[in-house]
Structure 1
Amino acid sequence: MRTEICETLGIEFPLLAFSHCRDVVAAVTNAGGMGVLGAVAYTPDQLEKELTWLDEHVGGRPYGVDVLVPGKIDESAERAGRGEGGLDTMLAAIPEEHWTFLRHLFEKYDVPMPARTPSSTGNARSGGTQVTKEGATALIDVSLAHPIRLIASALGPPPPQMVDAARGAGVPVAALVGTAEHARRQVAAGADIIVAQGGEAGGHTGEISTMVLVPEVVDTVAPIPVLAAGGIATGRQMAAAMALGASGVWCGSVWLTTEEAETAPAVKEKLLAATSRDTVRSRSRTGKPARQLRSAWTDEWDGPDSPGALGMPLQMIIAQGALNQIDKIAESGHPGARALANYFVGQCVGYLNAVKPARQVVYEMIEEFTDALDRLNRLSGTDGAAVPGPG
C-alpha cells in the first residue's frame, strides 16, 4: 500500500497502533504498521527505559510517541510542575470530600483502600503527575532523543516547543481532533498530520461520529494528510475510512485484548465479554470526558452521591492509585473489585472476542481490507465485471 502516510512515515501498511504497552508497539511496527507509545503515564526516566527497549526490538523500523499536552490543567498542578511543592502540592489540592467519597466507595465494595499517593500500589507509573507543561516538555525531550518517526499531541494543539523541537529533529507532528475547528487550530499550530477521532473512540474523545467527522476534517485541512480514528477494529472499517478520504487509520482499543497488551487480566475478561453498548463517556478517570468500559466505578462517580470529577490531572491522581489497587485485588476474583474494574475502550469493544497476537491482528485487518477493496471493485465494475444499470 502506498498512501501518503506510508510514504511520510516509511511504513508498509497505513495502520497506526496507539498503545501504552511497548510490546504492542513493537509487534505492530515489526508487522509493517507503526506502533505509537502513549507516554502520559511515564516519568522521563521510565520513558527513557521504554524507548531504549523499543530501539533494541524494532530493528530500525519506525515507531512513534504520543505525549498528552493539555491546554488547561488545574492551577495547583501547574505550580507543582514548576517545582513549587511537587506532588505534595497536587495532593493538597484534592478536596477532602473526594477522599471521603473514595474511601466510602472502597468500603461499599469491600476493597482495601490504598494510601493517598499515585505510587502507593507499587506501580511504576506516575498516575498523571506528568500532566503539566513542564512534565510534557521533559517527555518530548526524551522522545526526540530517540530515532522516533512521529510525535503526537493527544490533547489540544501541539505546543510551540514540541513543533520546534520536532522540526529540528525531522520528525512529523500529529495531533488528535474531534471537530473540524479543532483541526484548523492544530494545523495553524504546526501539525503535519491530523488524527480525526470520532466519538466511538476509547479514551478522550468528542461527540461527533467517525463517519461524519473524517470527511469533514479531510476537506477542512486538505492537503494535510488525515488519519481516521474511532471505532476502527476491522479491515472493512479501515477500507471505509480510506473511502472517506483518510490516508490511514489510528487504532487503540483493538490492541487491548492482544496477547501482548498491558490490560489487567480481570479487565481483559470484561472486555472480551462486553458489547458495543457497554461503554460510556465519563470524567471519572481523568477529569475530561473519556470513553471507557462502563462499570461500578463510572456509575458511582457519575451518580447523584458523587462530589463530581476533579479537573485534570487531579482526577487522574486520585483515580490511578485507586484503580491500580482495584485491578490488583480483582485478579483474585474479588467480586467488588471486579465490579469496579474498567479501562479506556471504544465502542468497537463488541468486536474484541478473542485473545490474539498483535501481529495476527495486523495481518487479519490488512487481509480483510484487501477483500473489502476487491468487493468494491467488483461493484464498480473495475475488475471487468458488468455494472447493473437502472431497472
Structure 2
Amino acid sequence: MRTAICEMFGVEFPVFAFSHCRDVVAAVTNAGGFGVLGAVAYSPERLDAELNWIDERVGGRPYGVDVLVPARLDTSVADPAARLAEAIPERHRDFVAHLLRKYGVSGLDPVPVSMSAVADEFGRRVTAEGAGGLVEVALRHPIGLIASALGPPPPEMTAQARKAGVPVAALVGTVEHARRQVAAGADLIVAQGSEAGGHTGEISTMVLVPQVVDAVDVPVLAAGGIADGRQVAAALALGAEGVWCGSVWLTTEEAETPPVVKRKMLAATSSDTVRSRSRTGKPARQLASAWTREWDEAPESPGPLPMPLQMLLAEAAMTRIGRAAESGNTGAQELAGYFVGQVVGQLNQVRPARRVVHDMAEEFAAAVERALAVTVKESPAPDLR
C-alpha cells in the first residue's frame, strides 16, 4: 500500500480517516494511517483543547484538521450584526415543534431566541472568517494537513497554510470542482462520490475518481463507498494515491456515535440512506429516518432552510432527540440519525479503529493477490486467419 501519498505525509498506509472524534483520529494515526479531525463542531478554544489531547497521544505522528467552508451561504450570514437564530422563520420553528410533539419528544422551543449568541457563534464557523479562526488554532499545532470541504479554500486559509508549510486538501464531487480547487491552491484533491456520507454530489466514486485523476496534476484520494481493503485496492487501480474514509469509523469502539444511532447503523443496509437537505440545508447523505422523511415528504413541511440556518435548527432539535432516544423514547429513536454513506451495509460489527486499519491492509494484500492470479501474463498470439 506504499504510494506517493505515504512518502508525502510520512504514513505507513494511505488511509485518511475523517472523524469528529479525537479518539478515532489518534487511533488511526497511531495505527499507521492519517487521522483528520472535523473541526466544525468546535469553538476555537475547544479545538485547541482537542488538538492538545491528540498531540499528547500520537507522539509526533501526522494528523490533520478539516474545516467546512461552503462556496454559498444564506445571505443573512453576510451581515455581521445578524442574529442567526432570529433569522429562522417561525413556520420552521413551528414545524420542528410539531415533529417533536408528533413523535412524543417533549421540551421547549428547539432553538430559543435566547440562544442566539450561541447559535451565531456556531453558524459562523462555516464562513471563511469563522473557519479562518479554526485554521489559526490548528496551525499552532504540529498538524500535517488542512482540509476544506464544500468550496474552494479561501485565499487567506491557503496563505496561512503555505506559510506554515502545511498542505491543503479539498473535497470535490465533480471534475470542474477539482480544477477550481487546484486553481485556488489545493495541494491534494479528495474525489468524493455520491455514495459517501455527509455532503456529496451526484456522481459515483467509480466514475468520478479516474476523471479527476486525469484532470488535475496533484495527488488524488478516493472517497465514498470505501470501508475495506478490496475497496482500497479498487481506488488505487482507478489512479488514486490513497483513500479518504468517514463512515467506517462511526461504528468503531472509539467513535462518539450515540449508541441508538450506532445500533441503527449496524442493522442498516445500503438502501437505508438518503441524500437530504433536512440536516444542514445542503444535500447530505445520512441514515433515512422519520426526520428526513417528514422534512422531505410531509405535505406540511416548509422545506429545509439554506445553510447554516437549517443546521442550527436541526442540530438544536437533534440534541434533545438524542437525549430522549437514549432514555428509551421510541419516537425519538425513529427521528434519530446521522450522516453515513451507502457502505453502511458493510458495517455490521464493532471493531477498534486500529483493527479496521490493519484489516484494510490485509484485505488489500489479498485483493491484489487475487488480481494477479487472474492476470494473463503470456497470451498466445491471436489467429488472424
Which AA in structure 2 matches 1:76? S
**Percent identical residues:** 67
Summarize the Cα distance change of 1:195–1:91 in structure 2 as closer, same or farther, 3 Å threshold: same
CA spacing shift, 1:318–1:389, aligned 2, 3 Å: farther
C-alpha displacement at 1:118, in angstroms?
A: 10
Counterpart residue number, 2:72? 72
Q: Deviations over 1:172-198 (max 9, x none)?
A: 100000000000000000000000000
2-structure distance, mates of 1:117, 1:170: 43
Aligned CA distance change for structure 1 residues 322 and 30 (closer, same or farther; 3 Å): same
* Cα 1:390/1:240, change in 2 over 3 Å: farther
The one-letter code of the counterpart of 2:168 is V
Q: Does the 8 A contact of 1:44 with 1:138 survive in 2? A: yes
Equivalent residue, structure 1, for 2:149: 154
CA distance in 2, matches of 1:184, 1:380: 34
User: In the TM superposition, what is the alpha-carbon distance from 1:119 to its structure 2 partner?
Assistant: 10
- Residue 151 of structure 1 aligns to a residue in which SS? strand
CA-to-partner distance for each residue in 1:137-159, whole Å, 9 max, x for gaps? Answer: 10111111111000000111111
Deviations 1:352-374 (A, max 9, x none): 00011000111111100011011
Among residues 221, 225, 232, which one is paired with 1:231 in the alignment? 225
Q: Tell me, what secondary structure is at the counterpart of 2:319?
A: helix
Asked if structure 1 preserves the Cα contact closer than 8 Å seen for 2:168 and 2:185, the reply is yes
Match of 2:242 among 244, 248, 258: 248
Looking at structure 2, the residues matched to 145 and 264 of structure 1 have their Cα atoms a distance apart, in angstroms, of 31
- Equivalent residue for 2:290, pick from 296, 300, 313: 296
Task: Tell me which of 209, 215, 239 is aligned to 1:214.
Answer: 209
Give CA deviations for 1:106-138 in whole Å, capped at 9, x if unaligned: 000010234425997xx9997544222221110
Shift of 1:234: 1.0
Change (3 A) 1:111 1:236: same
Task: Report the counterpart of residue 48 of structure 1 in structure 2.
Answer: 48
Q: Aligned pair in 2 of structure 1 residues 367, 128: CA closer, same or farther (>3 Å)?
A: farther
The alpha carbon displacement at 1:199 in A equals 0.2
CA shift for structure 1 position 389: 8.8
Match of 2:313 among 309, 318, 331: 318
- Structure 1 segments (4+ residues) deviating >3 Å: 117-120, 123-129, 386-391
Contact 2:43–2:122 (8 Å) recurs in 1: no
Describe the shift of the 1:389–1:327 C-alpha distance in structure 2 as closer, same or farther (beyond 3 A): farther
Q: How far did residue 260 of structure 1 move?
A: 0.5
Q: How has the CA–CA distance of structure 1 residues 255 and 307 changed in structure 2, closer, same or farther, with 3 Å as cutoff?
A: same
The SS at the match of 1:308 is coil
Structure 2 CA distance for partners of 1:336 and 1:390, relative to 1, 3 Å: farther
Task: Write the letter of the residue equivalent to 1:7.
Answer: E
Residue 7 of structure 1: CA displacement? 1.0
Matched-pair contact (CA < 8 Å) for 2:174–2:208? yes
Distance 1:197 1:244 in 2: 13
State how 1:1-391 maps to structure 2 within 5 Å: 1-79=1-79, 82=80, 84-85=81-82, 89-115=83-109, 116-117=111-112, 128-221=123-216, 223-303=217-297, 304-380=299-375
Q: 1:38-62 deviations in whole A, cap 9, x for unaligned?
A: 0011111111111111111111000
The 1:119/1:231 distance shift into structure 2, 3 A limit, reads farther
Report the more deviating stretch, 111-120 or 317-326. Answer: 111-120
- Report the Cα offset of residue 387 of structure 1: 6.6
Query: 1:295, 1:375 → 2: CA distance?
Result: 39
Please, which moves more after superposition, 107-116 or 296-305?
107-116
Q: Distance in 2 between matches of 1:209 and 1:151?
A: 25
Task: Answer whether contact 1:119 1:125 (CA < 8 A) is retained.
Answer: no
8 Å CA contact retained: 2:86, 2:113: no
Work out the CA distance in 2 between the residues paired with 1:235 and 1:125: 42
Task: Name stretches of at least 5 consecutive residues in structure 1 with no aligned partner.
Answer: none
Amino acid of the structure 2 residue aligned with 1:268: K
Matched residues, number: 379
Q: Is the 8 A contact 1:137 1:162 kept in 2?
A: yes
The Cα of 1:380 is off from its aligned counterpart by: 1.7
Gaps of 5+ in 2: none
Please report the RMSD computed on the Cα atoms of aligned residues, expressed in angstroms: 2.0
Q: Check the 8 A contact 2:190/2:220 in 1, yes or no.
A: yes
**d(CA) in 2 for partners of 1:209 and 1:145?**
37
Q: Contact 1:174/1:194 (CA < 8 Å) preserved in 2?
A: yes
The amino acid that maps onto 2:341 is: G
Q: TM-score, normalised by structure 1?
A: 0.93
Aligned 8 A contact 1:118 1:321 in 2: no
State the distance in 1 between where 2:291 and 2:269 align.
Answer: 18
Deviations, residues 328-365 of structure 1 (Å, cap 9, x unaligned) = 11012211000000000000000000011000111111
Q: Partners of 1:91 and 1:109 in 2: how far apart?
A: 24
Cα distance in 1 between the residues matched to 2:57 and 2:99? 42
